[in-house]
Amino acid sequence: MTPADPHTAQANTPDQDGGQGETPDTSVSAAAELPGLDQRALAALAEVGREWERQIPPLSTWQRALPVDTDLEWGQPTRSRGARFVQIGKPRRRGESEQLEATHRAAEGDSRTSHALHALRRALIGPALRSSALAEDRIGRALALPLLSPDALSSVAYGPEAMLAILLLAGSGELKASLPISAVLAVLMLSVGLGYRQVIRAYPQGGGSYVIASEGLGHRWGLLAGAGLILDYILTVAVSVASGVEAVTSAIPSLSSARILIGLIVILLLVAGNLRGLRDAGVAFAAPTYLFVAAIALVVVTGLVKAASHGFHPAAPVPHRAVEAAGVLLLLRAFASGATAMTGIEVISNAVPIFRPPAAKHARQTLSVMVGLLIAMFVGVVLVAHFDGAEPGGSQTLLSRISHSSVGSGIGYGFVQVATTLILLVAANSAFNGFPRLLYFMARDGNMPRAFLRLGDRLAFSNGILVLALPAAIIFVAFGGHTGPLIPLFAIGVFIAFTLAQSGMVAHWLRHRERGWRSALVTNLLGAVLSGAVVVIAAITKFLQGAWLVVVLLPLIVIFCERIHGHYVRVREALTPKPDGDGRGRPTDVTAPDRRDGQRGQDSAHGAAEAADTPAEVQSFAVVPVAVLDLAALHALAYAVSLARPVLVVHVSPTEREAERFQRQWEAWGEHLPLELLVSPYRATVAPLANYIAALHHQRPESTLSLVVPEVVVARRWQKILHNRIGARLRNALIAYDGITITTVPFHVPP
Amino acid sequence: MTPADPHTAQANTPDQDGGQGETPDTSVSAAAELPGLDQRALAALAEVGREWERQIPPLSTWQRALPVDTDLEWGQPTRSRGARFVQIGKPRRRGESEQLEATHRAAEGDSRTSHALHALRRALIGPALRSSALAEDRIGRALALPLLSPDALSSVAYGPEAMLAILLLAGSGELKASLPISAVLAVLMLSVGLGYRQVIRAYPQGGGSYVIASEGLGHRWGLLAGAGLILDYILTVAVSVASGVEAVTSAIPSLSSARILIGLIVILLLVAGNLRGLRDAGVAFAAPTYLFVAAIALVVVTGLVKAASHGFHPAAPVPHRAVEAAGVLLLLRAFASGATAMTGIEVISNAVPIFRPPAAKHARQTLSVMVGLLIAMFVGVVLVAHFDGAEPGGSQTLLSRISHSSVGSGIGYGFVQVATTLILLVAANSAFNGFPRLLYFMARDGNMPRAFLRLGDRLAFSNGILVLALPAAIIFVAFGGHTGPLIPLFAIGVFIAFTLAQSGMVAHWLRHRERGWRSALVTNLLGAVLSGAVVVIAAITKFLQGAWLVVVLLPLIVIFCERIHGHYVRVREALTPKPDGDGRGRPTDVTAPDRRDGQRGQDSAHGAAEAADTPAEVQSFAVVPVAVLDLAALHALAYAVSLARPVLVVHVSPTEREAERFQRQWEAWGEHLPLELLVSPYRATVAPLANYIAALHHQRPESTLSLVVPEVVVARRWQKILHNRIGARLRNALIAYDGITITTVPFHVPP
């Protein structure tokens, strides 16, 4: 993050208080949600504080006045299920309050519904984890590999087939082109893999394409990389689940009619597994991944042994008539299709912090193993297919075909099929790891809603997990659970992210020139060029099949992120205390006498723009809307009068006759307060009331108008339809005005 | 309404202030929404008022303190479109405020969206009408007839056919049974019609089955009558629109595919027409009704003239084989089917107040004309069909068949078809008049949500109109625009209402014995018996075809209404000021000295149950939740301190590290107020905060806890997703506690 960049310099990194310098903190923190204040703001706070000191009594007076024990040593309601708050730490000095800790009970309500919901939640995703468990919730390489690699590895089940299917369009004679294309793909995988090893080296706390591109190339390129990954993660889930369900239904055709339901259940299980947290998810997804690796190894090794026994002479494929001419474009399309196998490679570099220390080293090793497996499996499958003369098409998948010829039709074949089905079903899991982390990083820079900073009960990014699952499920259902129309949209986003990440690394090495930067730079440059080539090829060859949608959506996402960013920057600017010296000419070192007598110094009031950041600047009067002079209204009137400020009561009547009726109630009570009667002959209530109150406020914009609204609160939710909810509507209408506070005085009625 | 009835005695009649005795006010009032207070409550108010007088300064002090001009003579924001408030009336005494009237501009907001929406609204339903126009918005008989009769009259287009279709099941020989059945139906119509004439006589301000049954037979029977009508009105709209659309599509078959769309457009037009108000609706619906009457007259007269020329010898019908045995059950089913023609008869008695005075006389005359037309048209069509030997079935409707034979195939036939289509399309309009009025009466007795008391912009019962249209449209769409499956559900509800209304009238005459009560009683008794017979016949013969649904739904509606009623009674009880002498032993004539010195008399505090209906009883302390010590927080703190009561600041942190960060901000500011730090290691924010505040409140249940919440208010709606809305969630969690007031201190951020 370069300090010169006006965008990222405003980001809400959680440690601006500490001012830890320029290195971005790419670790995950439970405290990231609350923005900090910089030194300048703290200085401004101190200045405001001195003003307060002159205006209000000292702290000890306030402490004595409090009628409650803030440490809850007495009067904490007795709970059958344990205390909600326990004291931690000692008072920092005499008379000071102790710090309280909320137990997990503090998140529950008192109602039976609340207890039941919490019990259900615990049953589904386990008990809540403490923030301090974040350091413990790390996993070893053996669990991380199956957690992060299913997306990449599972593409071996369909990547080679997609490539061969394109080549077959030019006739079976062209199938042999699969060997050189695979070699290029292997080089590409190796290059991107090595590139991401460098990423982990440079960002040992976890980075990913978004962070690297933001830093190396600038804010907007980072957003583009992020947008590409966002699209691709969503598509990955939809496509992976659809192909997993396809594998299930082709094995058990009677389930075809339930394909949508099965897919939704798989998505739900993925959500639940990931909401449970890293360790549980890793354990759950370990078996399918290792089984699949073993299955492919079996097929490839036996296939190659058989091929060796024939002296590596390829079997002649069944002759096919060409429907398209062979040519560069076709080869490029085949290449682009094969490249879809590479989605998911970047997940590990995003997720370095989930590894046990030394995290970076473990992550690099895991990445190397994953890329090695991917290349070996991909090339192996293509080779075996080549020697078998197998070709795509028909009722069987390519993998099923070569499994048959390699391991026969017995238990070995069944094992391969089961393993393939399982990995396709869990392939979406990489996306469930990558997407929420990506949104966390984007949100921390203020490019995404802050809600994505939130760590859920189980220290998982619950919001990100849910926001990934929802659009993926909608797309899955909208396309009837079929993968076909989605494939062309796929992989462009991820290759844009690859390209930008590798380019960002090139910029990084040029800037930092650490030990060995030259070779690293070459690696990343090669990765950038190759990935960029894939983007161009894929965009051109798939444009009309749907890639245009990606081309349209990406800039929209970038613009949306920039609007979010702009909003957060303006909000932060508006909320940050600013030194008063800023062009207003008030000295910062006021030498006024130390008046602690509680006298409200009117002399120190300053401009209306900064009105009311000290109590003396609050001048206010109360307005109470009353429909009927019942107990709810009296309750609100009593509260308003107790505020020790002027009070005006307003009543809106639909007719003059009704106004007289109210007048009789008012006179019976004794007319103790100023009353304004509004007749609303058009029968609107809320809008005239809101406009009248706004007009009063307009007379005294510097005064705070305290609107005190009596509100009947019902015990059951359905009973809300029985009441006119004027309070809530008035709130909505008047919240737009600066300087109007809205107080609800509830009056509870029996059910 | 018998005063002995505990249910209706609690009803929110708008004039309990005045205590106008036992006669229920069945007129429509714009002021009905606001419940009144009875003499006892007013006395209690006076008692509370005397307590206030001892506690607070006199009115003049309050008036002088107010920093604003409540009459808006200065400082009313200049509006380009005219003032929002104008003064009406004189101040009632010196120093008193004038009454203001809200112009129609007062209902509009300042935003462009608001102006555009209001302009659209005016274009669709016309400018708003003043409540005082209620007296003027009355119509003559010539407009009232087409407004209220289409439902009844249009049934001539399908009633006879439904009857003959049942008879045909027993072979064409049984068709002649249509004559005696029609005679019985004519007697039934006459009897019910005469019965409702008596209803209008007894309830000159408009009554209807619900009011009559409630009063004559008791609360629960009234609800049953109301429930029957509610179901039937909804079904009427769905069935009428469906048969209207059927008439359109059978004339122009190419429109068949758009039937759902056409039906929804018709419903929308009916809604818009009725929202525009009585007069506009009457004018719009006059032509179809009169055209249809003329068309039927043409068909019947020419048909009968032709029959006369053949000496009234019926033509032999085409022989048909019987598929069911002739028998009593079949005849009864035919009778029940024909009786559906009577739906809509009760609408006029409901709607007496819409007639120009003398309203009751005009309503009676209109009712007589309508019933006369209905009988003549119904019997006429049956007779012509009989003499023609026409029979139902095939591609043509019965009406189309006899039109052909009566007036040939030329322009006369076209006229009949067009008129029939038009009346079927507007037949639902009676329901749009009856349903909202019924709900108004039910709501005024506290049996339906009070929202149905509201008169819309155009003095129409907008809520009732919309609540009728929505389920009707859903049913229409759900059944694909077909009437078939709905017919068996139809008419049972309305005949239950007829029976209960006529029985209620019998009870009425037995009780009141006004002039001519004997003959009136006989009329109503006959009506009750005949209608009751139809209910029994229809329920038995149609039970399995769907009438069971009505049998299940009616009690559910009655129970729902009773629950609403119970809630309103309890709310009223809870809200009404009660004399303090009620068993609490405090004398009502306090002889304490007249202290107007503003001293807060702690001596007069009474029990916590009635806590805080005088200001001295309000003891409170403020709690301010603060996440970050930014300007929004300072703003809220300044406001809280200005309330002149103890203040406690609470901060929730997800980690201890974050708590320390906040502590640094707090210390920079100067620690002027008591602070409690809550660490929430499970990262929940709102629930621990709410539980902590509830625990504080639990320590001091007699004190009011003023929760002061800083709230960042965004300028654009979509930006809400960018903020965590802790204020709103805290509100929802804490509104359940008595004695916690919630104040929002808004802080506006730029867009």
Q: For A37-66, how does the pLDDT look when each residue is reduced to its tens digit (9 = 90+)?
A: 888 888 888 888 888 888 888 888 888 888
Q: Is A458 exposed, middle or buried (0-12, 13-18, 19+ CB in 10 A)?
A: buried
B729 touches chain A (CB under 8 A): no
Provide the mean pLDDT of chain B: 81
- Counts for chain A of helices (H) and strands (E), in that order: 26, 7
The whole-number average pLDDT for the span A664-672 is 88
User: B-contacting residues of A 144-163, CB under 8 Å?
Assistant: none
The whole-number average pLDDT for the span A651-660 is 86
Structure tokens at B48: 């509370």
The predicted-structure confidence for A524-579, as pLDDT tens digits, reads as follows 898 899 889 888 888 888 788 778 888 899 999 999 999 999 999 999 888 888 87
Question: Which of A111, A467, A631, A705 is the best substitution to test chain B (most B C-beta atoms within 10 A)?
Answer: A631
Give the pLDDT band (50/70/90) at residue A742: very high
**Alpha carbon distance B259, B638 (integer Å):** 63
Yes or no, beta carbons of A641 and B132 under 8 Å apart: no
| Coil vs helix vs strand at A616 | helix
B290 touches chain A (CB under 8 A): no
Q: How far is CA A747 from CA A711, B623, B645, in A?
A: 6, 20, 22
Average the pLDDT over each of A466-470, B68-72, B236-240, B597-601 and give the range with the smallest value.
B597-601
- pLDDT over 90, % of chain A: 18
Give the pLDDT band (50/70/90) at residue B1: very low
| Long-range contacts from A642-645, C-beta under 8 angstroms, 24+ separation | A642/B615, A642/B618, A642/B620, A642/B704, A643/A706, A643/A708, A643/B643, A643/B644, A644/B643, A644/B644, A645/A620, A645/A621, A645/A706, A645/B65
**Alpha carbon distance A100, A131 (integer Å):** 16
Q: Which pLDDT value is given to residue A79? A: 53
Q: Which pLDDT value is given to residue B680? A: 87
Yes or no, beta carbons of A613 and B634 under 8 Å apart: yes
Give the pLDDT band (50/70/90) at residue B591: very low
User: B-contacting residues of A 398-457, CB under 8 Å?
Assistant: 449-451, 454-457
Give the pLDDT band (50/70/90) at residue B600: very low
Contact residues, chain A, for B681 at CB < 8 Å:
101-102, 130-132
B310 touches chain A (CB under 8 A): no
Task: Identify the CA nearest to A750 among candidates B702, B574, B559.
Answer: B574
The whole-number average pLDDT for the span B146-173 is 85
Give the pLDDT band (50/70/90) at residue B622: very high
Provide the mean pLDDT of chain A: 81
Bridge-based pairing of strands A740-748 and A620-625 is unpaired
User: A-contacting residues of B 592-651, CB under 8 Å?
Assistant: 612-615, 617-621, 627-632, 634-635, 637-639, 641-648
The predicted-structure confidence for A565-619, as pLDDT tens digits, reads as follows 999 999 988 888 887 654 333 333 333 333 333 333 333 333 333 445 778 777 8
Q: Rounded to the nearest 5 degrees, what angle is found at the Cα of A161, between the Cα atoms of A155 and A164?
A: 135
User: Which of A280 and A689 is assigned the larger pLDDT?
Assistant: A689
Yes or no, beta carbons of B52 and A691 under 8 Å apart: no
Contact residues, chain A, for B43 at CB < 8 Å:
668
CA A241 to chain centre: 21
Contact in structure between A175 and A405 (CB atoms under 8 Å): no
Q: Which pLDDT value is given to residue B81? A: 56
Q: Is the pLDDT score of B109 beyond 80?
A: no
Q: Which pLDDT value is given to residue B651? A: 92
B148: which residues sit within 8 A by CB, 6+ positions away?
A: B344, B347, B348, B351, B366, B370, B430, B433
Give the pLDDT band (50/70/90) at residue A264: very high
Tell me which chain B residue has its CA closest to the CA of residue A721: B449
Q: Which of B570, B577, B677 is closest, CB to CB, to A634? A: B577
Yes or no, beta carbons of B84 and A695 under 8 Å apart: yes
A629: which residues sit within 8 A by CB, 6+ positions away?
A: A662, A665, A666, A668, A669, B37, B45, B577
Task: Identify the CA nearest to B614 among candidates B7, B49, B66, B21.
Answer: B49
- Counts for chain B of helices (H) and strands (E), in that order: 25, 7
> Distance, in angstroms, between A240 CA and closest chain B CA?
30
Yes or no, beta carbons of B654 and A130 under 8 Å apart: no
Q: Is the pLDDT score of A82 beyond 70?
A: no
Q: Which pLDDT value is given to residue A604? A: 33
The predicted-structure confidence for A460-514, as pLDDT tens digits, reads as follows 888 999 999 999 999 999 888 877 777 777 778 888 988 998 899 899 889 888 8
Q: Is the pLDDT score of A99 beyond 90?
A: no
Task: Identify the CA nearest to A497 among candidates A541, A524, A532, A471.
Answer: A532
Taking the model in full, what pTM does it have? Answer: 0.81
B66 touches chain A (CB under 8 A): yes
HSE at residue B182, side-chain half, CA atoms within 13 A, is 26
Contact in structure between A530 and A192 (CB atoms under 8 Å): yes
B540 touches chain A (CB under 8 A): no
Contact in structure between B334 and B181 (CB atoms under 8 Å): yes
Residues forming beta bridges with residue B100, ordered by sequence position = A678, B87
Interface contacts A/B by beta carbons within 8 Å: 517
The predicted-structure confidence for B295-347, as pLDDT tens digits, reads as follows 999 999 999 998 888 877 777 666 777 777 767 888 888 888 888 788 788 88
Contact in structure between A152 and A370 (CB atoms under 8 Å): yes
Q: Is A630 exposed, middle or buried (0-12, 13-18, 19+ CB in 10 A)?
A: buried
B677 touches chain A (CB under 8 A): yes
The predicted-structure confidence for B604-617, as pLDDT tens digits, reads as follows 333 333 445 778 77
The predicted-structure confidence for B165-205, as pLDDT tens digits, reads as follows 888 888 777 788 888 999 988 988 998 888 888 888 888 87
Average the pLDDT over each of A1-10, A309-318, B74-83, B326-335 and give the range with the smallest value.
A1-10
Main-chain phi, psi angles of B86, to 5 degrees: -125, 150
Q: Which of B681, B692, B722 is closest, CB to CB, to A132? A: B681
Yes or no, beta carbons of A66 and B721 under 8 Å apart: no
Residues forming beta bridges with residue B66, ordered by sequence position = none
Please give, one letter per residue, the 3-state secondary structure of B171-234: CHHHHHHHHHHHHHHHHHHHHHHHHHHHHHHHCCCCCHHHHHHHHHHCHHHHHHHHHHHHHHHH
Q: Is the pLDDT score of B26 beyond 70?
A: no
Task: Identify the CA nearest to A531 among candidates A188, A177, A100.
Answer: A188
Average the pLDDT over each of A404-418, B214-228, B440-454 and give the range with the smallest value.
A404-418
Most confident of A472-486, B483-497, B631-645: B631-645
ipTM exceeding the 0.85 mark? no
Q: Which pLDDT value is given to residue B409? A: 77
**Alpha carbon distance A266, A243 (integer Å):** 12
Q: What is the dihedral of CA B316, B322, B325, B329, to 10 degrees?
A: -70
